Amino acid sequence: MARPKIALIGAGQIGGTLAHLAALKELGDVVLFDIADGTPQGKALDIAEAGPSEGFDATMKGTTDYADIAGADVCIVTAGVPRKPGMSRDDLLGINLKVMKSVGEGIRDNAPDAFVICITNPLDAMVWALREFSGLPHAKVCGMAGVLDSARYRHFLSVEFGVSMKDVTAFVLGGHGDTMVPLPRYSTVGGIPLPDLVDMGWSTQEKMDEIIQRTRDGGAEIVGLLGNGSAFYAPATSAIEMAESYLKDQKRVLPCAAYVDGAYGLDGFYVGVPTVIGADGIEKVVNIKLNKDEQAMFDKSVDAVKGLVAACKGIDDSLA
Ligand code: APR
């Protein structure tokens, strides 16, 4: 059986890291696409030359021609511009919306059966626009945010509790921005929910609140430290986790920006929710029960995303 084909649209910091990880994990043959001629070809060759030492079997191709993504099983989209210090993800909207139009059309015309994972920010609005421009089924187009946000939350919690990250689960809902909704009630250490751990005296409510804020600001913290770009290792790893669940039909329960129609009181809207990812794409949206406070935070987050979607419609008439 032929190896799966993974198309990476955008061969920048995240795109290159995605290609390297896909090769190391032997998820399939990789095509790196970018508009900056030389970049995708150079990265593809560089990663291919790591093959003999690593011992992976995967071909790497760099291209500026959409025809080369033909028949891709997975497309991961990072095309666009990242944040600079002082910018919010929302500041990228105008530029990246135009990029989503060309990428959406490129996928529609060349890889209409692919499972598409969008990473470009502002994520929730860009994944919506990408789906509109591509016309692919909603279940086959999603956005990577929740896996990354919950990984950041898990990392901070594991440091606070002094335990392995493997034993920390965390739950983050809503948009990928300042209004994201980390849910302590559904986040655990060894299966024990965070509020119980505070009751047990293992940590304090103040510390838990600090960690939630640091999670919300997780992307900005890295933008501030790097000074010339945004995070790329953890975002790439998170998207690879989602792609692997699709390609291997793992049916992982992963939070991602998915099309929600019915659940959470939403009628046809992209936002961060827990999902099951398998061979059919987003196979299920897990509709958890929120308490009043959680629902209020979620609604606020949804409103923020709705504002961005409205702004997209204002910029591009074809989306209205
Ligand atoms: N089509 C294809 N590639 C494009 C296009 C386009 N229309 N426009 C820009 N690109 C390419 C750039 O040439 C660049 O190589 O997208 C790549 C983006 O790479 P980086 O600038 O290194 O950005 P990166 O850190 O990878 O982040 C990409 O993901 O997390 C988000 O906010 C981040 O929106 C940003 C995206």
The per-residue pLDDT for range 119-147, each reduced to its tens digit, is: 999 999 999 999 999 999 999 999 999 99
Whether 205 shows a pLDDT value over 90: the answer reads yes
Q: What is the pLDDT of residue 132?
A: 98
Closest approach atom of ligand 1 to CA 80: 9
Is the CB of residue 143 less than 8 Å from the CB of residue 118? Answer: yes
pLDDT digits (tens, 9 = 90+) for 154-170: 999 999 999 999 999 99
pLDDT value at position 262?
92
End-to-end, the C-alpha distance of the chain in Å comes to 43
Per-residue pLDDT, 244: 98
What is the residue with the minimal CA distance to atom 36 of ligand 1? 120
Distance from Cα 75 to the centre of ligand 1, integer Å: 14
Tell me whether 0.95 is exceeded by the ipTM: yes
When the pLDDT of each residue in the chain is averaged and rounded to a whole number, the result is 96
Residue nearest to atom 32 of ligand 1 (CA): 82
Q: Ligand 1: which residue has its CA nearest to atom 7?
A: 99
Q: Alpha carbon of 81 to those of 90, 185, 209, 228: distances in Å?
A: 12, 35, 31, 11
SS3 254: strand
Measured from the CA of 99, which atom of ligand 1 is nearest? 7
Burial of residue 203, with CB atoms counted within 10 A of its CB: 0-12 exposed, 13-18 middle, 19 or more buried: middle
Q: pLDDT, tens digit, for every residue of 244-257?
A: 999 999 999 999 99
Catalytic residue among 20, 138, 155, 176: 176
Q: What is the structure's pLDDT at 86?
A: 84
